[in-house]
A and B are shown apart, each in its own frame.
Chain A
Amino acid sequence: DGGITQSPKYLFRKEGQNVTLSCEQNLNHDAMYWYRQDPGQGLRLIYYSQIVNDFQKGDIAEGYSVSREKKESFPLTVTSAQKNPTAFYLCASSLLAGGAYEQYFGPGTRLTVT
Chain B
Amino acid sequence: SQQGEEDPQALSIQEGENATMNCSYKTSINNLQWYRQNSGRGLVHLILIRSNEREKHSGRLRVTLDTSKKSSSLLITASRAADTASYFCATDPPESSYGKLTFGQGTILTVHP
Q: How far does the alpha carbon of A20 sit from the alpha carbon of B34 in the complex, in Å?
A: 29
A-B contact count (CB 8 A): 76
Would A40 and B105 be within 8 Å (CB), given that A58-B100, A99-B31 are in contact? Answer: yes
Residues of B within 8 A of A (CB): 2, 4, 29-31, 33, 35, 40-45, 48, 50, 88, 91-92, 96-106
> Of residues 79 to 114 in A, which have CB atoms within 8 Å of B's CB atoms?
88, 90, 92, 94, 96-108, 110
- Classify chain A's interface size: 20 to 34
Q: How far does the alpha carbon of A97 sit from the alpha carbon of B104 in the complex, in Å?
A: 20
Would A31 and B100 be within 8 Å (CB), given that A42-B106, A107-B41 are in contact? Answer: no
Residues of A within 8 A of B50 (CB): 100
A108 touches which of B40, B45, B48, B88 (Cβ 8 Å) = B40
Q: How far is the CB of B92 from chain A (nearest CB, A)?
A: 2
Residues of A within 8 A of B100 (CB): 45, 48, 58, 99
Residues of A within 8 A of B (CB): 4, 31, 33, 35, 40-45, 48, 50, 56, 58, 88, 90, 92, 94, 96-108, 110
Q: How far does the alpha carbon of A104 sit from the alpha carbon of B42 in the complex, in Å?
A: 9
Task: Report yes or no: A33 in contact with B43, Cβ–Cβ below 8 A.
Answer: no
10 contacts between A and B (CB under 8 A): A43-B88, A45-B100, A45-B101, A48-B100, A50-B99, A58-B100, A99-B91, A103-B35, A104-B45, A105-B42
Residues of B within 8 A of A33 (CB): 99
Task: Report yes or no: A48 in contact with B99, Cβ–Cβ below 8 A.
Answer: yes
Residues of A within 8 A of B92 (CB): 98-100
Q: How far does the alpha carbon of A58 sit from the alpha carbon of B33 in the complex, in Å?
A: 19
Q: How far does the alpha carbon of A41 sit from the alpha carbon of B5 in the complex, in Å?
A: 11
Task: Report yes or no: A97 in contact with B99, Cβ–Cβ below 8 A.
Answer: yes
Would A98 and B40 be within 8 Å (CB), given that A42-B2, A42-B105, A43-B88 are in contact? Answer: no
Residues of B within 8 A of A107 (CB): 41-42
Q: How far is the CB of B31 from chain A (nearest CB, A)?
A: 5
Q: How far does the alpha carbon of A107 sit from the alpha carbon of B40 in the complex, in Å?
A: 8
